[in-house]
Amino acid sequence: MWYNTKGENLFAKEKDMFSYIKGTLEVKALNYIVVDVNGIGFKIFMSQSAIQRLEETGTIVKIHTYMNVKEDELSLYGFITNEELRMFELLIGVSGVGAKSAITMLSSITPSKFALAVISNDVKTLTKVPGIGTKSAQRIILELKDKLKTEDAIKSNDIEVTTNIVENNNLEEAIQALKVLGYTRQEIESVLAKIDINTLTVEDIIRKALSFLGM
């Protein structure tokens, strides 16, 4: 359906053609919304928690989007924040986790709690999500923990705080998790300078930092 005469998927290279969609919210359904942009209605699948946070129909909304391209399906998934979009993209990169499962997780757990669960090997928290069993949770942690540690890895001398902070391995893991959530190094540095992290676990550092960052 989406192929040319050479058998090439017409949309395979256009997955990022929409960064966001801004228009009038026309429909709020259980698992999707419709946004009108100059007379064109875009059907966008979203988590139930995100839909509940939207204003009433008739208002102007800005939705971050991800185009999911499959052999027989072309669909848009939407997110209120960039953090939710990043969590979605991380999840669909895990073997066995599709777009629908990722959206279900977004309905059940926030990006910050998700990052905490992965960093701390918290299988119990992930299995609270409908449809995610122990094996699936373990696979998510296995495939994403190293990515969370290395994807935005920074050198110790990038942080101009105290020597104790630089040498703290827990801090390094917390920093990388916060960067994955979309915070800049400058934002992270400013709050870490206010926290005595010498006796804190990774989870405690992230929680305290997020409390300052307002998440």
Highest mean predicted confidence (pLDDT) among 37-51, 58-72, 165-179: 37-51
pLDDT at residue 210 greater than cutoff 50: yes
As a whole-number percent, the residues of the chain with pLDDT over 70 amount to 80
Per-residue pLDDT, 158: 36
Q: Which fold has domain 156-213?
A: Helicase, Ruva Protein; domain 3 (1.10.8)
Measure the CA–CA gap between 102 and 121, rounded to whole angstroms: 19
**Among 49-53, 55-59, 124-128, 195-199, the least confident range:** 195-199
Fold of 82-150: DNA polymerase; domain 1 (1.10.150)
pTM over 0.75: no
Mean pLDDT, range 5-30, rounded to an integer: 72
Q: What's the mean pLDDT when you consider all of the chain?
A: 79
pLDDT digits (tens, 9 = 90+) for 160-204: 333 333 345 677 778 878 887 878 877 887 787 777 776 778 888
Domain boundaries, the chain: 20-79, 82-150, 156-213
Indicate the CATH number of 20-79 among 2.40.50.140, 3.40.50.2000, 2.102.10.10, 3.40.190.10.
2.40.50.140
Q: Could you report the per-residue pLDDT of 118-168, keeping only the tens digit for each?
A: 877 889 889 988 888 999 999 999 999 877 653 333 333 333 333 333 345
The whole-number pLDDT of residue 10 equals: 46
